[in-house]
Chain A
Amino acid sequence: MSLVDVHDLHKRYKPDAPEAVAGIDFSVSEGEIFGLLGPNGAGKTTTIGVITTRVKATSGHVVVDGVDVSKAPVAVKRRIAVVPQLSNLDRALTALENLTFHAAYFGASRGERRRQALELLDRFGLAERANDSVNDFSGGMAQRLMIARALMHDPRLLILDEPTTGLDPQSRLFLWETMLDLRNRGTTLILTTHDMAEADRLCHRIAIIDHGKIIALDTPRGLRRLLPAEAGIELVLETPTDPAGDFAGVGGVARLDTAEVEDGRWRVRLYGEGEALADEALAASRRDGASLVELKRIEGSLEDVFVHLTGREMR
């Protein structure tokens, strides 16, 4: 079951401007963590804007939980929550009030919203700051409070815009765990990010957007396979001499390189694909009495794929 359907989405902000989004299609399944990757200005924010009712599509459809965004934006707002990149907390209110008033907008009763707010503040490590003004909150605390606020009305879809940009490693890890935890509780997540490690670790599927179009959409694994020249097997052998010759006969190898990493230890990289690559490489390593120290698969990183697809030019 897909929770979000984006179909042939186009957006042009001004008649003479180029299209910010030039025909995007994708679906997000229930319970999925879906990543939108792309350089600055690629169209991610516009796409998120349409899903969250803040941007009107020039053409195309976006349906959230069976509701057309352009036809029933209020019904969509009840189903979604957004955690923006920069704090948009209500600075006139305390942390607790930020949560309770948000829930009030969504019609929660007084007792219910207080109970839930205290519970979430506790879960996000903010219980002691409940009655403090959010003005003095650090970036990480503001981010946690915004996620808590988003959860106050129990959204089916949570959208996070570059959630970990600018956070310290502890906050980042905490956020990652929180996102996985939410997924396990059945919330669907869409996140935009520049952080490839984050996308790789969290997302079930990733769409790479550039110039307003999706140029690749797959699992992180699937995306990495888009760079066949970067995939293969790496071995580390204990042998006094360059073992390159031993591997010359291994089938399906597009490229081979060897390097002495320490005294008497050689690293061999065999780039190529094929079921038997590891077995053949292993067999080849046994010749000449070399002993195997390490064997692992090498894959192109998501970052390699991203740069490969979107180019090196800065935006």
Chain B
Amino acid sequence: MSEARAVQFRAFFALCERDLWVTIRHEPVSFLSQALLQPIFFLFVFGRVLPEIGAAGPRYGTTLLPGIMALTLVLTSLQNTALPLVIEFSFTKEIEDRLLAPLPTVWVGAQKMVIAALRGIVAAALILPLGELILPGGVHLDNMSWIGLIAIWLAGSIAGAAMGLLLGTAVPPNRISVAFAIVLTPLIFTGATFYPWQSLDHLPWFQVLTLFNPLTYVSEGSRAALTALPHLGTGWIALGLAVSLLVFGGLGLRGFVRRAVD
């Protein structure tokens, strides 16, 4: 590796080190509450309260858990790029010191994605023990595939971070709260989170609509990796994730460079 390359890699890892340091030393509570509070309530209300009062079947938790993991994975990754970028580009300008570090601008955007994805994976992993605690009868995993799960988590978290990168750099700061409302709510509820995709057979228009949501492939992928429940074909899952990664990764990084260099 040339000396110039070595400098760039060192800068990249130093930026990662700074982010991990801040997550662990300065803001573990805010990270965990931002990432986990919503899934905890989803698990509790949908997975415990609804079956208890007879509004959902007793095994609904098994269907729900992979969906909630996927939701946590994607949303945490998304929020961990989008929110900091909006704040750092517009208000605190903290990003400037990073943009002047000796590495290409596009690497700074990629680095943000890596850390956001890592945070998403940590949050999603914490859903398992939380599910064990919250769901009646705990977590039931059959037919679990570690390799499948790791692949889904890597692809899903990076896709989520890429969506956040696009959102955080494409939306003007004065519109960001509107943009979040418009993007997040449909994302949460059309992502096959609370229902397996195949059970939408009776609502074909909605079934088709959900295919445009990257979260659908992460939810279905998690279901495929963790349970024996019916799910979207693995080939389709892989294709959906690959397209999401390419489209959002490309647009997100391009948006970042445009925002960073006038």
Binding site for B on A (CB under 8 A): 13, 49, 52-56, 73-75, 77-78, 80-82, 84, 86-93, 97, 101-102, 104-107, 149
Contact = CB atoms under 8 A, between A and B. Distances in A.
Nearest to B17: A104
A302 to B, nearest CB: 30
Given A54-B99, A77-B102, A88-B93, 8 more contacts: A53-B261, A54-B260, A74-B104, A88-B94, A89-B94, A92-B22, A101-B21, A106-B102
B4 interface: yes
12 contacts: A73-B104, A77-B101, A82-B96, A88-B93, A89-B94, A90-B18, A93-B26, A101-B21, A104-B18, A106-B11, A106-B101, A107-B102
B93 A107 contact: no
Interface string B19-58: 0011000110000000000000000000000000000000
A52 B10 contact: no
B92 interface: yes
A87 B92 CA distance: 8
Q: Is the interface of B mostly helix, strand, loop or mixed?
A: helix
Given A77-B100, A78-B102, A106-B102, A84 B11 contact: no
Contacts of A74: 4, 7-8, 102-104
A53 B100 CA distance: 8
B262 interface: yes
Given A93-B26, A106-B11, A107-B7, A55 B261 contact: yes
Nearest to A107: B10
Interface in B68-126: 92-105
B261 A149 contact: no
Contacts of A149: 97
A91 B104 contact: no
Given A13-B262, A54-B260, A88 B97 contact: yes
B150 interface: no
A105 B94 contact: no
